[in-house]
Chain A
Amino acid sequence: MPEVIALTLRKARKYGLVARTSLQNSLAYRANFIFDSFFYAFIVFIFMQLWRSIFHRGGSIAGYSYSQILWYLIITEMLTFSQSNVFEDLNQDIKSGNIAYLLNKPFHYLLYQCANGTGPILVKWLINGLTGLALGSLWIGPLAGFSPIRLPLLLLAMANGLLLNFLAMACLGLSAFWLEENTAFYWIYQKLTFIVGLFLPLEFLPAWAQRIALWLPFSYVNYGPAKLVVAFSGPAFIRIVTVQFLYILGLAALAGWIFRRGVKRINVNGG
């Protein structure tokens, strides 16, 4: 038993090192992320203009006040802008044949990608988080009922949302083993996450669509964490985080299965 634990720790240390290197690389190119952060601020600005026009008489719409809807959008956009490019990375590795050079390295390719994606995600999350906090505080003001004590719970829900999205994108990227042109799948997935919770909370959808959306993984990428930020409740937290964990496990298993099947199809010529 101690050997198993020691082996697991050694493996964890190995991927931890990959994650640390990726974080250092991301910090070296932080100007790129700052540029993205500027665009994030611009999108929040546009939505602020839109919702200010809609809420010019005050009140609430679909249960959200002006302040709540804007903080909701700040969170969902922050999560979207903090995602990694794992779809593109996998696509390039598989289509270019570069994957052949990565398969014989002493790590599992998918775990390596996961560890490698950590750096950019953490840097973007931090920069966008600070930008969002500054924008919200300056332009909207504090969120009624928000308590900083809940911050660790909210960060957990957000991290789960990012991981869930990462795994879904990895599954789509792995389709490159079979398909030369798989970008359309990425677009469709991306737009489903847009519809289900990015631009509007689910409460804006018709009742039947809300019921369906709550069963889908897309709702737990953006909507779940953002809803907890603007209207936290203990039962909602337990439900959202449980569903996130279940989807994370399911998608991780699916990605592993697709990867094992895909690797059997690799046929690399030359070197």
Chain B
Amino acid sequence: MSTADNPKEKEHGSASLGKHLQLFGAYLRFNLAAAMEYRGSFLLQVFGMIVNNAAFIIFWAALFSKVPRIGNYGFREVMFLWALVSASFGLAHICFGNIGQVSRMILQGELDTYLLQPKDVCLNLIASRSIVSAWGDLAYGILLFVTVFGFEPLRLGLFFAFTVGSGLLMGSVIFSAQVLTFFVGNSSAISRLVTEFVISFTLYPECIYRGPVRWVLYSLIPAGFIVFVPLRIMQAFSWPALGLLVGVDLAYVCLSYWLFRIGLRRYESGNLIGTRM
């Protein structure tokens, strides 16, 4: 019997959203407490990641000292891209630290443990781990935004909302690439490439891309919806554009969840005996 046909699992899959949010909150608290157990290491990793990301400000400052503008992008616009990408990448990996490990876990038969637990397999799997250095990415993104754009509450609120949406979208794309392992075997190389594509495409001004690349940015590698559309909304707010963005974010989340559920039917146990404590 395939794992996804398990009636018990179906029953658990229909458990209330509230209970799953409780589980998510518990994982978040637990993972943070685990990271804080080694406080020195935690702070070193967070600070190291902030310094690591900050290095690129020097690159852009040096470039814009010689070139006033690149298309309709100046230093502030590029810093917005960096702030949003860092914050959303950080948030995705704090909340769903396993999204980059799914391929390996499928191949090694590590899903068995999650299948036996009375919660949604997908959420349980991706939320059960957190990446410590991702706190540095999140902190850097917020710090950079506040430094460049100030504390204006509406703008800051919008930035936080974009961080959540773009974090979900970015996480969904990375997760979907990992889930391909169910269908094509080891997809970790594809996933690594997709992750690099998402990050690299989002960190440069939109105006440098032309022709078919622009189609890719609004479909397969949705860099456009991760940063470029949020930037346009930030520059000139419009409800329809915001609604479209939220719709696209949710569509990608649902698509990746659906892909996982379909793929899970093909999963075969690795007979791996494991414990989660």
Binding site for B on A (CB under 8 A): 35, 38-39, 42-43, 46, 49-50, 52-54, 61-62, 180-181, 183-185, 187-188, 190-192, 194-195, 199-200, 204-206
Q: Nearest B residue to A194 by beta-carbon distance?
A: B55
Instruction: Tell me whether B65 and A53 are in contact (CB under 8 A).
Output: no
Q: What are the interface flags for B191-202 relative to A under an 8 Å C-beta threshold, 1 for contact and 0 otherwise?
A: 001001100110
Q: Output the least CB separation between B64 and chain A (Å).
A: 10
CB-CB < 8 A to B210: which residues of A?
49
Asked if A62 and B66 sit within 8 Å, CB to CB, the answer is yes
A39 to B190, CA, bound (A): 11
Q: How many whole Å from A220's CB to the nearest CB in chain B?
A: 19
B48–A183 touching, CB < 8 Å: yes
Contact of A61 among B52, B56, B67, B201 (CB under 8 A): B67
Question: Contacts of B17 on A, CB cut-off 8 Å?
Answer: none
Residue of B44, B52, B200 touching A181 (CB-CB under 8 A): B44
On whether the beta carbons of A183 and B66 are closer than 8 Å, the reply is no
Chain B 138-168 against A: per-residue CB contact (8 Å), 1 yes, 0 no?
Answer: 0000000000000000000000000000000
Chain B contact patch, size range = 20 to 34
Q: B59, A194: Cβ atoms under 8 Å?
A: yes
What is the CA–CA distance of A180 and B49 in the complex, to the nearest angstrom?
Answer: 17
Considering only residues 176-199 of chain B, those with a C-beta below 8 Å from chain A are: 189, 193, 196-197
Once the chains bind, are A46 and B45 in contact (CB under 8 Å)?
A: no
How far apart are B215's CB and chain A's nearest CB, in angstroms? Answer: 15
Do A52 and B208 touch across chains, with their CB atoms under 8 A apart? yes
Q: Which partner residue on chain B sits nearest A200 by CB separation?
A: B62
Q: Is the CB of B59 within 8 A of A195?
A: yes
Are the C-beta atoms of A192 and B55 separated by less than 8 Å?
Answer: yes
Contact A53 B52 (CB under 8 A): no
With CB as the reference atom, state the residue of chain A lying closest to B57.
Answer: A195
Q: Known A184-B47, A204-B66; judge A42-B204 contact (CB<8 A).
A: no
Please name 7 pairs of A and B residues whose Cβ atoms are closer than 8 Å in the assembled complex, sorted by A: A38-B193, A50-B205, A181-B40, A184-B45, A191-B55, A200-B59, A205-B62
Query: Helix, strand, loop or mixed for chain A's interface?
Result: helix
Measured CB to CB, the closest approach of chain B to A188, in angstroms, equals: 6
Max chain B C-beta neighbours (<10 A), residue from A53, A181, A183: A53
Question: Across the interface, which residues of B come within 8 angstroms of A205, CB to CB?
Answer: 62
B-side binding surface: helix, strand, loop or mixed? Answer: helix
- With A200-B63, A205-B62 as contacts: A43 and B209 at CB distance below 8 Å: no
- Cβ–Cβ contact B207 & A204, under 8 A: no
Enumerate chain B residues within 8 angstroms of A199, measured Cβ to Cβ. Answer: 59
> Out of A46, A62, A188, which one reaches B51, CB within 8 Å?
A188
**Seed contacts A191-B55, A194-B55; 4 additional CB < 8 Å A-B pairs:** A43-B200, A188-B48, A191-B56, A206-B65
Question: In the complex, how many angstroms separate the beta carbon of A24 from the nearest chain B beta carbon?
Answer: 23
B83 to chain A, nearest CB (A): 18
Q: Does chain A have a CB within 8 A of B117?
A: no
Instruction: Tell me the residues in window 53-88 of chain B with beta carbons closer than 8 Å to chain A beta carbons.
Output: 55-56, 58-59, 62-63, 65-67, 70-71
> Chain B residues near A188 (CB, 8 Å)?
48, 51-52
Q: Does B108 contact A (CB under 8 A)?
A: no
**Contact digits for B20-58, partner A, Cβ 8 Å, 1 yes 0 no:** 000000000000000000001100110111011001101
A187-B48, A194-B55 given as contacts; is B207 within 8 A of A46 (CB)?
A: no
| Mask of B207-238 contacts with A, CB within 8 angstroms, 1/0 | 11110010000000000000000000000000
Q: Are A184 and B200 in contact (CB under 8 A)?
A: no
- Give the nearest-CB partner of B201 in chain A: A46
Name the B residues within 8 Å of A38 (CB-CB): 193
Contacts of B208 in A (CB 8 A): 46, 49-50, 52-53
A219 CA to B47 CA, complexed, in Å: 25
Cβ contact of A183, chosen from B45, B59, B213, cutoff 8 A:
B45
Q: Is the CB of B71 within 8 A of A184?
A: no
10 nearest A-B residue pairs (beta carbon): A184-B48, A191-B55, A187-B52, A49-B208, A181-B41, A53-B208, A204-B62, A199-B59, A50-B208, A187-B48
Q: How far is the CA of A187 from the CA of B133 in the complex (A)?
A: 12
Chain A residues near B189 (CB, 8 Å)?
35
Interface contact A53-B66, CB-CB below 8 Å:
no
Please measure, in the bound complex, the distance between the C-alpha atom of A184 and the C-alpha atom of B204, giving whole angstroms: 25
Counting chain B CB atoms within 10 Å of each CB, the highest count among A50, A180, A184 belongs to A184
Q: Which residues on B sit within 8 Å (CB–CB) of A54?
A: 67, 70
Inter-subunit contact A42/B48 (CB<8 Å)? no
Beta-carbon contact of A42 and B200 below 8 Å: yes
Known: A49-B204, A50-B204, A184-B48. A61 touches B66 (CB 8 A): yes
Evaluate contact between B70 and A187: CB separation under 8 angstroms.
no
How far does the Cβ of A173 sit from chain B's closest Cβ, in whole Å? 16
Taking CB atoms, residues of chain B closer than 8 Å to A50 are 70, 204-205, 208
Across the interface, name the chain B residue whose C-beta is closest to A51. B208
B200 lies within 8 A of A46 (CB): yes
Contacts of B55 in A (CB 8 A): 191-192, 194-195
Query: When chains A and B are docked, how far (Å) is the Cα of A110 from the Cα of B163?
Result: 45
Residue on B with the closest CB to A47?
B204
